[in-house]
Structure 1
Amino acid sequence: MSFRLRIFLLVLVVAGTAIGATAWLTLSLTSREVTRLSAARDRHQAEIAGAIRRFGVTNGRWNGVDAVVAELSERTGLHIRVETEGATLADSDVLRDQVVGPVQRLSTPVDPYPVLDAGTPRPASTVAVAAPIPARPVLPADLFATTPGGSGLRTPEQRAYFQLVQYRAALVAVRCAAGEHAVALPTLGSETAPYLTPEQRAAAPECVRAGQRKVLHDTDWLDQWWEQFAQCRDDPPSDFEQCLGPAFTEAVSTTGAIPVRIYFGAGRDQGLAGLGRPALFGAAGLLVAAALGTAWIARRISRPVRAITGASLQLAAGRLDVRVPASGKDELAFLTASFNAMAEAMQRSEERQRRLVADVAHELRTPLSNLRGYLEGLADGVVEPTPELFASLHEETLLQRRILDDLQVLALAENGDLAYAIAPLDLAELAGSAVTAHRAVATNAGLRLLVDAPEPVEVQADPDRLRQVLGNLLSNAIRYTDAGGQVEVRVSRDELTAILTVRDTGVGMSAEEVARVFDRFWRADPARHRATGGSGLGLTISRRIAEDHGGTITASSAPGLGSTFTVRLPARMR
């Protein structure tokens, strides 16, 4: 079983246990809280609805209901929310500056209107049928001196009409006293007629008179609702009550507060108390499982991590032969194997670097020793200066300069700093021009130089760098092919790849030599190299250029049968 699978299964067990425990706790808490909330709502619903209705009736508006809601919530322990259509008037959680909790979807409606006191309807025998609407009754000069039952208005519609006028005038008087005269009349003195107490009337007589004048002078409003009430008198007694009550409610709604709905939710005191011993055992078991699993994971991870950390410190200190023992087939074993592979690669890179320094020193030591010997001989008069000698010395200096130039190009290429001027390029045309440039050298060497490029093959590449690659391949082919042999350059393509091939009939190479042909300073025939002047870096540079163009360069050969070098590049789409 892989380490990843072990961790996954452990996390799955812990997560499943946690989810199960959480679900059980949630269901238990929810069930207990729903039961508690339903019981608390049943106990306090009437009290809360009555208090809020009384506030609406006596104020005629909802300004200041926050204090009532806060006091009721504090006393009952319930979350109380009062809403109108599309707006929240008060929320006890908001008033406490705490996170707003959920409420039940079932609401309690509250109509903040006074109760109609219209007396007993007339007997059926006295009800006139289709009688004309009588004139609007004359109201007492002092609306608050009496109740509807003692006003002298005998019919139910007259008494309902008088009660409506009293309620509106009382609300106007209270608002006048609170706003204009700053008299302490915050609410109506009573939610039944005449609504204002004698003390209130004595405290703000001007506002009381102003309220009565305003209502009594609003004749349009008075006529509208008297006509509405008077129409109910034609109904039978059973329907009369159903007509006059809604008419009174509708009339009061034009001057009083708007209806609201009360929603109830759980209060602040929610805890885990009462869940019992099983919950404690479940939580303890979950903690134990999590602790054991975490300890196992930490131990399983920390041991190889410590080993890799120690090995990396030794690697940084220069011990490139350090390795970490690897066992198993899980991800940590793969990590250890990756570290060992990295250390191996660093050791090989260091060895290659050392070989490179040794190769460069070797390549420069022999010609420099020759130059030094000849110069000392010339200085001592041992060697006679001749044009041939100076030509040989000049050739040696050119060879050293070529080696240094190739090293610089290789360094730039391996660091990714070699500049390229990418442009559309026809490989067939490039092959033709390269063959033309090398034809004279091939002819002098007694070789046939052929080109097979029957159709254009376009790529996106740097023309100068690809010309350098092809020049290196042609130079090597001519150098290692004896007189009478043949060198052929072929250009072709498949669906996605452009192919450039240089094939010769030269001496060829063994499989071991083919494997090293792209190494720095490696030559299949060092003695022959001395005669022809190669630097041993051309193929290394050519491979890097091909890779920078998104392509590859490969070699195949057999001793005595010649060699074939193949360059593959991404072709331009037709």
Structure 2
Amino acid sequence: MTFRLRIFLLVLIVAGTAIGATAWLTLSLTSREVSRLSAARDRHQAEIAGAVRRFGVTNGRWNGIDTVVAALSERTGLHIRVETEGSTLTDSDVLRGQPVGLMQRLATPVDPEPALDAHTQQEVSAITLTARAEAVDLSTEERKRRAVRHLAGPVPARPALPADLFAALPRDSGLAGPEAKAYYQLVQYRAGLAAVRCAADKHAIRLPALALEGSPYLSAEQRAAAPDCVRSAQEKVLRDTEWLDEWWQQFAQCRIDPMTVFDQCLAPAFSEAVGSTGAVPVRIYFGAGRDQDLAGLGRPALIGAAGLLVVAALGTAWIARRISRPVRAITGASLQLAAGRLDVRVPTSGKDELAFLSASFNAMAEAVQRSEERQRRLVADVAHELRTPLSNLRGYLEGLADGVIEPTPELFASLHEETLLQRRILDDLQVLALAENGDLAYNSEPLDLSELAESAVTAHRAVAANAGLHLLIDAPVPVEVRADPDRLRQVLGNLLSNAIRYTDAGGQVEVKVSRDELTAILTVRDTGVGMTPEEVSRVFDRFWRADPARHRATGGSGLGLTISRRIAEDHGGTITASSSPGLGTTFTVRLPAEMR
């Protein structure tokens, strides 16, 4: 199991446990809160609805309901929202300045209308019962005739109202019957609302609210505190004859069929009438209060939370230990590597990502060590390559200076040739350094690899003939590549020089050019002494020669193949070698071919 998979499974377990615990806790809290909210609503619903209705009745509008709702919410612990048709009047959570919580979908309707007084209701009930008792003996046709007769008859004239609308109704006032008394109560309600609003504006009373929920609505103290407002309100209502006539017509028509006076006519008409001058109906919604009841979740919640913490702590500790131990080891090893201990390695175990990280560090340390060893070998090889010829030059020059050696043209020619060889070694070192640093300049252009190979073979044909070799070329068709022609000639020249140098007289060197779909292929094959697999693996190393004695008579600087490989790689290609002892060697150069 990989380390990534272990972490994934651990995180999955912790996350699943946390989600499960959260879901259980949420469901438990929700269930408890719903139960608590239902119980609280059942306990306080009538109280809250009564308080809101009383406010609407006594104020005739909803200005100032915020104060009532805030006090009710504080006392009952419930979230209360009051809405009209299409808008929200107030919300206790908004009043507290906190996020608005969820509400129950079931609303409690409130109609802020004053009820008919008890005496009027008794009178309506008595008339209705009497009419129903009389109608028992009447046939359906007779009842219809009476109804038609009532409908055809004139509506009674609107009775005159007393100058003092809030006085007790005298017996001889002309306001006889329940419909007239309901009409008088309606007029009192409208006048009372107008009077208290006027008194509140003049600061005669503290609040614009009626003192009484029933007739006459104004208390004696309110009437005494603002007599001018009482008189002005009465005059205003009495002047509105159109409104008075409209509602008297509604009430008077309820006497057409006395059986429906209370149940189907007078009470609905009175409600509609007071609604035209009072507050509009509202709906009350209830929700959970601010304080969540967490008590009683019990031991399961504590055990679940403790278990989750234990799992998270153990998993985190395991992950920290599993990560920190190899990281500390790699950190210490990297410090030792930086201090010069190139043989330092870290232990690896397992097959997870941390094991791969340790293995990668060991591979890096190995590469650094090999690079350091190659650098040391390079310094040693350069010193070796230069020490012997310089010693020879020094010996000859000292011999000439002491008169021990006779100066001859042949000696000077030999010394000059030795100097040129050292210059070539230094030039090759400079080219190799530029190539390995990526600073070697290339002038790429389209060229025919077959043509380049033919020109190189022509240039080396005389050297091959002097060595007694057959130099062949197989390049039947043009092979287009994009490359630096001078650098490719350098590569092909190195390969041909090595092939001629290590092939005995009578042997053969063949140059072949071909291509496949994407690659141009240049092959140089000889029938020389060949190499062992170990020698093939080192053929591109600096200063390495196939001659085990590294005798300089074999010629060359030992850098040609190293430079050739770098040139091929810089062109996006490769160069490989294959060989068998006594059967010859084959070098293959592959370059990206131009699309046909």
Which category of TM-score, normalised to the shorter sequence, fits these structures? 0.7 to 0.9
**Residues 456 and 255 of structure 1, relative CA distance in 2, 3 Å threshold:** farther
SS of residue in 1 equivalent to 2:151: coil
Q: Which moved more, 1:73-82 or 1:324-333?
A: 324-333
Mapped partners of 1:165, 1:566: distance in 2: 115
SS of residue in 2 equivalent to 1:480: helix
User: Does structure 1 retain, via aligned residues, the 8 Å contact 2:479–2:593?
Assistant: no
**Residues 400 and 184 of structure 1, relative CA distance in 2, 3 Å threshold:** same
Mapped partners of 1:239, 1:472: distance in 2: 124
Deviation of 1:49 after TM superposition, in Å, equals 1.0
Mapped partners of 1:228, 1:516: distance in 2: 119
**Residues 229 and 404 of structure 1, relative CA distance in 2, 3 Å threshold:** farther
Q: How does 1:367-382 map to 2 (within 5 A)?
A: none
User: Does structure 2 retain, via aligned residues, the 8 Å contact 1:233–1:240?
Assistant: no
Aligned to 2:578: 557
Deviation of 1:60 after TM superposition, in Å, equals 2.8
Post-superposition Cα deviations, 1:169-218, rounded to whole Å, max 9, x if no partner, equal 43344444444668533322223233333333343444444544554555
Q: How does 1:341-352 map to 2 (within 5 A)?
A: 341-352=363-374
Aligned to 2:426: 400
| Structure 1: segments with no counterpart, 5+ residues | 458-462
**Residues 58 and 480 of structure 1, relative CA distance in 2, 3 Å threshold:** same
| 1:503 is aligned to 2:523 | yes
Aligned to 1:489: 513
User: Does structure 1 retain, via aligned residues, the 8 Å contact 2:389–2:418?
Assistant: no
User: Does structure 1 retain, via aligned residues, the 8 Å contact 2:330–2:361?
Assistant: yes
| Structure 2: segments with no counterpart, 5+ residues | 136-145, 465-470, 501-506
User: Does structure 2 retain, via aligned residues, the 8 Å contact 1:82–1:263?
Assistant: yes
Q: What amino acid sits opposite 2:574 in the alignment? A: I
TM-score normalized by structure 2? 0.75
Post-superposition Cα deviations, 1:64-107, rounded to whole Å, max 9, x if no partner, equal 22221221122222222323345443333333344443332222
Deviation of 1:517 after TM superposition, in Å, equals 4.2
| 1:530 is aligned to 2:552 | no
| 1:322 is aligned to 2:360 | no
Deviation of 1:17 after TM superposition, in Å, equals 4.9
Q: How does 1:73-152 map to 2 (within 5 A)?
A: 73-117=73-117, 119=121, 120-121=123-124, 124=131, 128-131=150-153, 133=155, 137-145=159-167, 152=174
SS of residue in 2 equivalent to 1:555: strand
Question: What percent identity do the matched residue pairs reach?
Answer: 61
> Which of 505, 521, 545 is equivalent to 2:570?
545
Aligned to 1:431: 449
Aligned to 2:294: 272
Deviation of 1:48 after TM superposition, in Å, equals 0.9
| 1:48 is aligned to 2:48 | yes
| 1:567 is aligned to 2:590 | yes
> Which of 405, 420, 441 is equivalent to 2:459?
441
Aligned pairs, number:
551
Aligned to 2:138: none
> Which of 248, 271, 275 is equivalent to 1:249?
271
| 1:67 is aligned to 2:67 | yes
Deviation of 1:499 after TM superposition, in Å, equals 0.4
Q: What amino acid sits opposite 1:348 in the alignment? A: R
Mapped partners of 2:197, 2:402: distance in 1: 129
> Which of 150, 173, 193 is equivalent to 1:171?
193
User: Does structure 1 retain, via aligned residues, the 8 Å contact 2:448–2:479?
Assistant: no
Q: Which moved more, 1:173-182 or 1:42-51?
A: 173-182
SS of residue in 1 equivalent to 2:283: strand
Post-superposition Cα deviations, 1:492-538, rounded to whole Å, max 9, x if no partner, equal 31xxxx10111122246543344344445555567587348964442
**Residues 100 and 516 of structure 1, relative CA distance in 2, 3 Å threshold:** farther
Deviation of 1:42 after TM superposition, in Å, equals 1.4
Mapped partners of 1:132, 1:268: distance in 2: 62
| 1:187 is aligned to 2:209 | yes
Aligned to 2:468: none
Post-superposition Cα deviations, 1:209-231, rounded to whole Å, max 9, x if no partner, equal 45445545555555555555555
Mapped partners of 2:592, 2:5: distance in 1: 43
User: Does structure 2 retain, via aligned residues, the 8 Å contact 1:499–1:568?
Assistant: yes
Post-superposition Cα deviations, 1:12-69, rounded to whole Å, max 9, x if no partner, equal 5555555554444444443333333222221111001111121222223333222212
User: Does structure 1 retain, via aligned residues, the 8 Å contact 2:61–2:278?
Assistant: yes
TM-score normalized by structure 1? 0.78
Deviation of 1:324 after TM superposition, in Å, equals 2.5
User: Does structure 1 retain, via aligned residues, the 8 Å contact 2:435–2:567?
Assistant: no
Aligned to 1:460: none
Aligned to 1:198: 220
